[in-house]
Amino acid sequence: MNGLLDGLTWLFDPDNWSGPTGVATRLVEHLWISGVSVLLACAVALPVGLWLGHMGRGGTLAINISNIGRAVPTFAILAMLYMTPLGLSNWTTIIALVLFGIPPILTNTYVGMREVDRDAVEAARGMGMNGTQLLRGVELPLATPLIMGGVRLATVQIVATATLAAVISGPGLGRIITSGFGRQDVPQIIGGAIIVCVLALVVEGLMAWLQRAVDPMRGARRRRGPLPDRDRGMPVIRDEVVSGA
Amino acid sequence: MALFGPAHDATLADNCLVRNDWVCGEYVRTRRDDITEALGQHVTITVLSVVIGFAVALVLAVLARRVGWLRGAILGTSTALYTLPSLAMFSLLLPFTGISATTVVIGLVLYSLTILVRGILAGLDAVPGDVREAAVGMGYDGFRLLRKVELPLAVPAIFASLRVATVSTIALTTVGMIVNHGGLGNLINRGLSSNFHAEVLTASVLCVVLALIADGLLLGLQRALTPWRRTVTA
């Protein structure tokens, strides 16, 4: 337990918070780079997922992209991007983060759209709704929890992966850990690890709250009991999904 | 031999290692031992983590079904663990297990729990009540009911989660390089610090291939364990 206490002591030392390599700077870097990556990943994956789900096409791609994403080590992608002409720029990290943020959003959006009650869609069509009205008025509101589950999973994953960017000397809180390893300073390693974990848990909590807050059906849902598991931002796992192979 | 020729006339051979190509057969030939060793470590760490993770998850899932209030606690804790970044997880284990393979295995077990506990629970929950009642009526109870009736019926859901857990574990093992036990991740890290393209690409591709092979093997095992579904699943 002593190791953890030393880590906390390191973390509460104001000297370690200031300066260009202090905790404060790294925290801002971490939040900035994660935020940009989440927005970019949403900008790419949401429209594609909504469109594929609405049209009912490309299901194999939309579902398998998550399986493939899981099989590719983040560390490998970071290392390879670092060796391209991009080198040590923030974009190296952002590209890697976006690549790993896209699959969960795309898969969840597609699955969310496909699992909208077919009767509701038929009824809306029967009432004369066209494609856009159907998408905005029926499919999107009903699919929101699962879509937000995907965004939540992607955000948590991006914040976690941003830590790993430190192994290519990228920005973010992971640098505290790697420089601790470099100097064999165990309290710094533990201190860095603690703040990284706290940040991850806070982000997960905030995203869980956001997911509930934006659900247009939350009143109706409360009466139906707790959310199914995958709506809580867990990976969509189905027993017939053929993975990356 | 010319008297005034450059002393280092016998220049380096022009092969893919010298050119630092991404794809290089020469690399695989000359570093075969390195690669085999890293691959061995990778497979060992992955297998240990998944096997231990599965055993622990099975116990936790059965506990969660027996003791009502434990269910939320177990699911909540494993979700929180899943949130923690791998680099931080391995670092936090450092004071307890040091720079060792144990650190990596414990971290990976904790990650696999999230997926495995959920998969096993989902599988057991989906066993139809009629089937369970019929089995109880035939005299099955407790452990025998679980082993002979519930678990076999839950096999598809359990294997779905086992495959996801295995594939993610293989990918996550690479991060173990931070404590020098990352299997192929060690090669990626070494290649990264010496700017050795072939080493990084070869190790990365091997990781993905390993994940695909493991996934295929588990799928085969699942088919073998559920002969009654063979006609249904294509």
| Tens-place pLDDT, residues B172-210 | 999 999 999 999 999 999 999 999 999 999 999 999 999
Q: What's the rounded Cα separation, in Å, for the pair B112 and B168?
A: 8
Tell me the mean pLDDT in the region A132-139: 87
Contacts B200 to A, Cβ<8 Å: 76, 79-80, 83
CB contact under 8 A, A177 and B212: no
Chain B contact probe: residue of A88, A232, A239 with most B CBs at under 10 A: A239
Which of A172, A39, A23 lies closest to A93 in space, CA to CA?
Answer: A172
B140: exposed, middle or buried (Cβ count in 10 Å: 0-12, 13-18, 19+): middle
A2: exposed, middle or buried (Cβ count in 10 Å: 0-12, 13-18, 19+): exposed
Q: At what angle do helices B197-225 and B151-173 cross, to 10 degrees?
A: 180
The pLDDT assigned to A234 comes to 60
Is A73 within 8 Å of A81 (Cβ atoms)?
Answer: no
User: Which residue shows structure tokens 């086992």?
Assistant: B162
**Would you say residue A156 lies in a domain?**
yes
Angle made by CA atoms A100, A106, A107, in degrees to the nearest 5: 100
**Would you say residue A46 lies in a domain?**
yes
Q: What is the CA A146 to chain-centroid distance, rounded?
A: 13
pTM over 0.90: no
The pLDDT assigned to A80 comes to 93
CB contact under 8 A, A75 and B208: no
The pLDDT assigned to A243 comes to 29
- Token pair, residue B84, equals 């923690």
Q: At what angle do helices B184-193 and B32-66 cross, to 10 degrees?
A: 130
**Nearest CB to A238; choose among B94, B160, B216:** B160
Q: What's the rounded Cα separation, in Å, for the pair B47 and B56?
A: 14
Model confidence pLDDT, tens digit, residues B25-74:
888 888 899 999 999 999 999 999 999 999 999 999 999 998 888 998 99
Q: What is the CATH number of the domain that holds A181?
A: 1.10.3720.10
**Nearest CB to B160; choose among A166, A234, A241:** A241
CB atoms closer than 10 angstroms to residue B192: 22
Which of B54, B57, B119 lies closest to A241 in space, CA to CA?
Answer: B119
**Would you say residue A128 lies in a domain?**
yes
Q: What's the rounded Cα separation, in Å, for the pair A76 and B189?
A: 9
Domains of chain B: 23-225 (1.10.3720.10)
Q: How many domains does one find in chain A?
A: 1
Question: Looking at the predicted structure, is the pLDDT value of residue B24 above 80?
Answer: yes
Contacts A92 to B, Cβ<8 Å: none
Question: Looking at the predicted structure, is the pLDDT value of residue B121 above 60?
Answer: yes
A196 lies within 8 A of chain B by CB: yes
**Would you say residue A18 lies in a domain?**
yes
Residue A228 DSSP one-character state? P
**Would you say residue A66 lies in a domain?**
yes
**Would you say residue A202 lies in a domain?**
yes
Which of B199, B206, B189 lies closest to A75 in space, CA to CA?
Answer: B189
**Would you say residue A240 lies in a domain?**
no
Q: Is A115 helix (H, G, I), strand (E, B) or coil?
A: coil
**Nearest CB to A160; choose among B85, B95, B171:** B85
A88 lies within 8 A of chain B by CB: no
The pLDDT assigned to A245 comes to 23
Which of B165, B86, B93, B76 lies closest to A205 in space, CA to CA?
Answer: B76
Tell me the mean pLDDT in the region A19-33: 92
**Would you say residue A244 lies in a domain?**
no
Burial A214-239 (b: 16+ CB within 10 A, else e): ebeeeeeeeeeeebebbbbbbbbbeb
Q: What's the rounded Cα separation, in Å, for the pair A208 and A199?
A: 14
Question: Looking at the predicted structure, is the pLDDT value of residue B6 above 70?
Answer: no
CB contact under 8 A, A75 and B188: yes
Is B62 within 8 Å of B115 (Cβ atoms)?
Answer: no
Which of A167, A190, A186 lies closest to B178 in space, CA to CA?
Answer: A167
Contacts A161 to B, Cβ<8 Å: 85
Q: Which domain holds residue A132?
A: 2-232
